[in-house]
Chain A
Amino acid sequence: MVSAHSSAVNVLHSRGLLVSFVQETRAMTTLSVCVPALFRKPPGKLSPGEWVLFDGHRMVAKDVAVVLLGRPTWQGKLLRAHVKGLSAWKLSLLKRALLIKARDGGLLGLLRTDQRGNPFVEKARQGLRHTTLSSLVGLGPGSTPSGDDFITGVLLGEEALKQGPAAGAKAVAENQKTVIPWPLEKEALGAALNRTNDAGKTLLWQALQGNFPGYLIEMLRSLSAAEGPEDVARVVERSVSCGETSGADALTGFLLFLQGRL
């Protein structure tokens, strides 16, 4: 077992992927299970470094046994309904709100052309300039490195386009100069997975399959439904409250990918 927090317990599966046991469905990522009972009055204490066994429908540690059967898990597939209301205008509102509300520290600087001095942002810029998205794998601070969140946002953007009403947008995009290279070299990304830690690996691997964390799907859904700048601002607030910079990094990737494509 990797870590125990007040509302999430992360366990490293023997396949190298991180499974999260969370308290609320809101906090779910791909490869997570919602088990509120684990957090109510824990029957035992889970200590980082402890071994945990998965037995069919049960997770078992020294002091704790949790029944997983029937507990909600998260797929995280993007549906047409989630992206119905997306438009270029909403994306510009999103960018504005993000620059105002997000904390600095991750790769948000990529959205600011005037930012200098952040080595991670510089490195990321280099990577994008030379059209290698995979060079961002494992880059930056955070228990899930910023680069991984960023790439997840990019992949989310691609998925949104696929589902989006503007089927013609893809054709348009191919003729425009975009920030994010096209195609996305998914193979190279897959090969780069070992260059980051388990949390990042899990996130990226799932994103490559088209499975996204709960908060990102929720972000798109509410962005679609948003009617004006206030609504969009609220969407951003909720998203950037995830992790320290995860939300902001993912949104940065999302925006940069769609810039010029929508």
Chain B
Amino acid sequence: MKKVLVRKNAYYDSVFLMLAAKAVKRLPGIQEAAVVMGTDVNLELLKGIGFFSGETALPKPNDLVIAIEGDPPEAVEEACRIAEETLKKKRERAGEDQEYQPVSLDGALKILPEANLVVISVPGPYAAREARRALKKGLHVMLFSDHVSVEDEVDLKERASEKGLLMMGPDCGTAIINGKPICFANVVRRGGIGLVAASGSGLQEVTCCIDRMEGGISQALGTGGRDLQDPRVRGRMMLLGIEALKHDPETRVIVVLSKPPAEESAAAVLSRLEETGKPCVVQFLGRKPLERRGAVWFSGNLEETAAMAVALSRGETPSPPFRSLSEEELSRTAETEAANMSRSQRYVRGLFAGGTLALETMFLFEQEGFKIRSNMAKGPGQALQSPHRSEGHTLLDLGDDVFTLGRPHPMIDPSLREERIAQEAADSETALLILDVVLGYGAHEDPCGSLAESIGKAKALVAARGGYLSVVASITGTEKDFQNRTEQKKKLESAGCLVMPSNTQAALLAVHIMKKAAQRWM
């Protein structure tokens, strides 16, 4: 029996082809085997000896032809099978003498075909492209990179929505999926509260507070900072996330968190939440909380968001916010702190690594009538002449581009903040420093170590001038985070820092202290 195999556009080196031909010829029952290119004259020859009889579709010169003749037919089939195998193996092994390191998504998928999530933190100009390819392959995406254009973001989220895939980002730093922290995230208890957030540090803070209050997280999805803020993005990822949590049996309460949203996006989100049929908590930072609408509750600060969610997850009605210090205790502490300040010390200086935490503090101060200047400021009266020089009450997001160009983010490297602490301590008008410390994956392994030292030095400097520097901090983290929250807290406290259980409470204490300080000189 004669049989012919054709491999289109195949190119193997001659040595291999010869060996393959020899190997096939040696097989039992095989009389003749030729491995040749499908050139005109070769085909002529093969036809002349009985191959390709009656075939209409003939191979081309660049096709590889394996012509096998033998008896019985089974032997020929077997020989064909072996020939195919040999060629396939050779193709796969091409270039394998070096260790294979995937440098492209396709290569990676060959090694890990069951991949379901791609985490992208490559430089901005390339990030969108990689995200697009991942979506094309049907993979969910976490896009940590920023400096991705709005147009790209809209395109990516459209594609993701169409395919029902997660497109978390760009500029998404935090997510917790199936209990696993992704990028900058904390180890928290598993439970029934699902979150969708357009803010990384906000999501970290809320999930840690939930954990502290003995609640648990089902899923925490990030959307990237612009999702609700930019009207062009229209909250696409937020809406998809809410829909996913609506149908997730593990999720009993849905929490939505975002920096000040664009009007239509906010409206779309609220109506989608109402349709879920589950109790929801919404916090639009910087907006006064609205009245409750059916099962949708509105929160005024991060701690309250957590407290409401935990209560709802227990089937309880949210009650007044959780405080570790009563009004009285707050007052007393504030008195003590302000007591030894000198007359010149009039201003608060906030140095934050978490953008949302800085924002929350700013809004809380403003609600109490303070005029705050900041690098986050929108209004002209609030901007600083230079972000590197504080004026009056100043709250800074040190993670902002203007500070991090060429330097690591303050969550990763404390030196940027420590330099600024020294600078503020040297300023005789500084009364109070507010700091946030974020633990968990992605953060520094011992943020409070050197921070405590800087705080100690700063306090000593002011004391030597006859004044008193008050320092208030919060630690975003859980006991399960690898930095050991208890140890971190001790380090700060031993330097004279007041450590509050949440950013919200730190801000409230700071407000009290500043009021007391102002009152002293009236």
Contacts and interface: CB of A to CB of B under 8 A. Distances in A.
Direct contact of A and B (CB under 8 A): yes
Interface of A: 2-6, 10, 41-49, 62-63, 105, 119-120, 123, 135-145, 147, 194-201, 243-246
A2 B7 CA distance: 13
Interface in B110-167: none
Given A45-B103, A137-B41, A147-B41, 20 more contacts: A2-B11, A4-B94, A44-B103, A44-B107, A45-B95, A45-B100, A62-B106, A120-B45, A138-B39, A141-B14, A142-B17, A144-B14, A145-B36, A195-B39, A196-B37, A196-B39, A196-B40, A197-B62, A198-B11, A246-B14
Closest A-B pairs by Cβ, 3 of them: A138-B39, A244-B14, A195-B40
A206 B477 CA distance: 70
Nearest to A136: B41
B104 interface: yes
Nearest to A42: B98
Nearest to B19: A244
A244 B17 contact: yes
Interface string B1-32: 00000000101111101100100000000000
A142 B19 CA distance: 11
A53 to B, nearest CB: 15
A139 B15 contact: no
A198 B39 contact: no
Chain A CB within 10 Å, residue with most, of B14, B21, B36, B38:
B14
Given A44-B104, A45-B107, A194-B61, A244 B45 contact: no
B371 interface: no
A10 B11 CA distance: 9
B42 interface: yes
Contact of A46 (B36, B40, B95): B95
B508 interface: no
Given A138-B37, A139-B42, A143-B37, A48 B103 contact: no
Contacts of A137: 39, 41
Contact of B14 (A6, A45, A143): A143
Given A5-B94, A144-B14, A145-B36, A138 B104 contact: no
A141 B34 contact: yes
Given A46-B95, A135-B41, A196-B37, A141 B62 contact: no
Contacts of B266: none
18 contacts: A44-B103, A47-B94, A48-B94, A49-B9, A119-B48, A120-B45, A138-B42, A139-B41, A139-B42, A142-B18, A144-B14, A145-B37, A147-B41, A196-B40, A197-B61, A199-B11, A200-B37, A244-B17
Given A42-B95, A120-B45, A141-B17, A198 B103 contact: no
B302 to A, nearest CB: 44
Contacts of B36: 140-142, 145
Interface string B324-357: 0000000000000000000000000000000000
Contacts of A5: 13, 94-95
Interface of B: 9, 11-15, 17-18, 21, 34-42, 45, 48-49, 61-62, 91, 94-95, 97-98, 100, 102-104, 106-107
A245 B18 CA distance: 9
Contacts of A201: 61
Given A5-B94, A194-B61, A244-B17, A138 B40 contact: yes
A243 B107 contact: no
Contacts, number: 118
Contact of A138 (B21, B34, B41, B91): B41
Nearest to B49: A119
A36 B477 CA distance: 52
A35 B97 CA distance: 18
Contacts of A135: 41
A3 B90 CA distance: 11
Nearest to A198: B62
Contacts of A243: 13-15
Contacts of B9: 2, 49
A147 to B, nearest CB: 7
Which of A10, A45, A140, A244 counts the most chain B CB atoms within 10 A?
A45
Most buried by B among A10, A49, A119, A194: A119
Contacts of B94: 3-5, 47-48
Nearest to B12: A143
A252 to B, nearest CB: 15
A63 B91 contact: no
Contacts of B34: 141
A197 B35 contact: no
A48 to B, nearest CB: 6
Contacts of B37: 138, 142-143, 145, 196-197, 200
A199 B61 CA distance: 10
Nearest to B104: A63
- Most chain B CB within 10 A, of A5, A10, A136, is at A5
Contacts of A147: 41
Most buried by A among B35, B94, B107: B94
A48 B91 contact: yes
B41 A63 contact: no
Contacts of A246: 14
A117 to B, nearest CB: 11
Contacts of A245: 14, 18
Contacts of A10: 11
A140 B103 contact: no
Given A48-B11, A123-B45, A141 B18 contact: yes
A137 B41 CA distance: 7
Contact of A63 (B11, B18, B97, B103): B103
Contacts of A41: 98
A143 B107 contact: no
B87 to A, nearest CB: 11
A99 B17 CA distance: 22
Contacts of A136: 41
Contacts of A123: 41, 45
